[in-house]
Amino acid sequence: MDLLTLSQSYEEKKVSPVEIVQQVLSLIEQENPACNAYITICEEEALAAASQAEKEIMSGNKRGPLHGVPIAIKDLIFTKNNRTTMGSKVYEHFVPDFDATVVQKCKDAGAIILGKTNTHEFAYGPIGDRSYFGPSRNPYDLEKITGGSSGGSGAAVAANLAYAALGTDTGGSIRIPASACGVVGMKPTFGLVSKFGVFNLAYTLDHVGPMTKTVKDNAALLNLLAGQDEKDPYSFAKATEDYSRLIGQDIKGKVIGLPRFFFQNIEEEVRVAVEKAIAVYQSLGAEIREVEIGGIDEIAEGQRITIQAEAYAVHEKTMREHADEIDAEVRERLVLSKEVRGYEYVQVQQRRQQLIRQFNESFQNVDVLLTPTLPIVPTDIYQREVMIGHHAEGVRQALLRLTSPTNFTGNPGLSIPCGFSKGGLPIGFQLIGKHLEEAQLYQFGYGYEQAASMNQAASGNNAGK
């Protein structure tokens, strides 16, 4: 079941939270040693919370769609009295004494926290195979990467080890594993979801967002997470809204932009899968247009300078006191990050608003942008170079290439599964919207999801005949 189906089943008293949590914990015990999605399992707390949720729901006091639903939390997000390791030896035994705002919101809604999911150390990597606790492994092929840094969250949802998960995204770290693991992942508009109690990677690039099986589930979880938080200096005030309100509305006559930059140097299997997704939108009556994005190279460079400068600012003390405890590859990346000059960082921030405006000019004649989420299918764990056609590229650079620009600009991005490679590995596409237009991304995402599901059912029926 997906999240909302489970929620409905609770209302109809077909299943109970205790029963479901016991089933998922049993599955985690069986499957987690192989895929390594979780670092820490909160079994006692989960069962106690399930018992409480069961009493409340069965007595007619259902708090909302997340009540009694088992979810996972990325191990970068603080959980009171449960260790939060950042995937690092440095924080192997760190236990926060408070919950992150997003965790508190989940608890207040009655969600049941199963455990903490694996992350690339300090979230400083899009691959997901550099954690002190070992690499998270793709449920579709355990020798392949989940993508990172929220790889454990992606694997947990894909392997049915959670009904939803929270991830963080600084250069693509929700959308990359969402694509690689075949789930739905949203990076909301910067500042829409509180980051208080979330370990920093880069102050002005970090986002928190939901990872789920379906688009509707994703919107339901974002409804819970969004909102101003005085404890987060980057959080902004806005009227509350229902991000699912456009789901099911027709997209006939809407315009989808295809930015040329995002379709360069992509693997053929990815290109074919994304073109099939575009054809689905055309069948729904959407118009497709190619668009140019001004300043995209400068945006990409601005993202690089910003993440390096801010990441080193976060980790300067750790590098002085615990450098030998940090994974060699992550440490090397932090050493390189130190090389960014102060004036370079300031110059980029001075140009940033202008570059964001330039990026948003691409929406003048289109409603959303559509791109591949990743230019490649998931690579082998520990692989560091990939051939795209006749062109060699670093795996890290390839994974970040299509997702990181919108961390710099703060635009929302939604990754949706759209097929599989010949080797059975998931492929996803990304919808990018104007700031604060998450509801429209869900409208487009749901339209595709439903049409693709019907097409799949029809082709299955035809094959049966």
pLDDT tens, 131-187?
999 999 999 999 999 999 999 999 999 999 999 999 999 999 999 999 999 999 999
- 238 with 327, same domain: the answer is no
- 172 with 311, same domain: the answer is no
- 221 with 291, same domain: the answer is yes
74 is catalytic: yes
Residue 353 CB neighbour total at 10 angstroms:
10
| Boundary (domain end) residue, out of 285, 318, 346 | 346
- 360 with 266, same domain: the answer is yes
pLDDT of residue 289: 98
pLDDT of residue 4: 98
Per-residue pLDDT of the chain (465 residues; tens, 9 = 90+): 999 999 999 999 999 999 999 999 999 999 999 999 999 999 999 999 999 999 999 999 999 999 999 999 999 999 999 999 999 999 999 999 999 999 999 999 999 999 999 999 999 999 999 999 999 999 999 999 999 999 999 999 999 999 999 999 999 999 999 999 999 999 999 999 999 999 999 999 999 999 999 999 999 999 999 999 999 999 999 988 999 999 999 999 999 999 999 999 999 999 999 999 999 999 999 999 999 999 999 999 999 999 999 999 999 999 999 999 999 999 999 999 999 999 999 999 999 999 999 999 999 999 999 999 999 999 999 999 999 999 999 999 999 999 999 999 999 999 999 999 999 999 999 999 999 999 999 999 999 999 999 888 777 766 555
- 452 with 304, same domain: the answer is no
Active-site annotation holder among 7, 88, 131, 173: 173
Containing structural domain, residue 325: 298-346
pLDDT of residue 465: 53
The number of distinct structural domains making up the chain is 2
Mapping DSSP onto H, E and C, the string for 8-49 reads HHHHCCCCCHHHHHHHHHHHHHHHHHHHCCEEEECHHHHHHH
- 186 with 325, same domain: the answer is no
Handedness of CA 92, 43, 48, 117 (dihedral sign): positive
> What residue type is assigned to position 359 of the chain?
F
Instruction: Identify any residues that bridge with 416 across adjacent strands, giving them in sequence order.
Output: 429
- 209 with 249, same domain: the answer is yes
Hey, what are 207's tokens? 């986002």
pLDDT of residue 456: 81
89 is catalytic: no
* CATH code, domain with 102: 3.90.1300.10
Parallel/antiparallel/unpaired status of strands 255-259 and 368-372: parallel
Instruction: Identify any residues that bridge with 180 across adjacent strands, giving them in sequence order.
Output: none
> What residue type is assigned to position 427 of the chain?
I
- 250 with 318, same domain: the answer is no
Instruction: Identify any residues that bridge with 41 across adjacent strands, giving them in sequence order.
Output: 115
Active-site annotation holder among 16, 131, 136, 149: 149
Hey, what are 22's tokens? 């016991």
- 144 with 284, same domain: the answer is yes
How far is 251 from 443, CA to CA, in rounded Å? Answer: 8
Hey, what are 446's tokens? 């749901």
| Boundary (domain end) residue, out of 288, 315, 346 | 346
pLDDT of residue 195: 98
Q: What is the pLDDT of residues 160-174, one digit of tens each?
A: 999 999 999 999 999
- What ranges in 284-341 are assigned the alpha helix state H? 296-322, 328-337
173 is catalytic: yes
Residue 332: exposed, middle, or buried by beta-carbon count in 10 A (0-12, 13-18, 19+)?
exposed
- 455 with 445, same domain: the answer is yes
Helix, strand, coil percent content, the chain, rounded in steps of 5: 45, 20, 40
pLDDT of residue 341: 98
Q: What is the pLDDT of residues 21-55, one digit of tens each?
A: 999 999 999 999 999 999 999 999 999 999 999 99
- 383 with 400, same domain: the answer is yes
**What is the maximum span of the chain, computed from C-alpha positions, in angstroms?**
67
| Pick from 108, 15, 126, 14: nearest CA to 64 | 108
| Boundary (domain end) residue, out of 346, 363, 380 | 346
Active-site annotation holder among 16, 74, 136, 187: 74
- 232 with 337, same domain: the answer is no
pLDDT of residue 393: 98
pLDDT of residue 462: 62
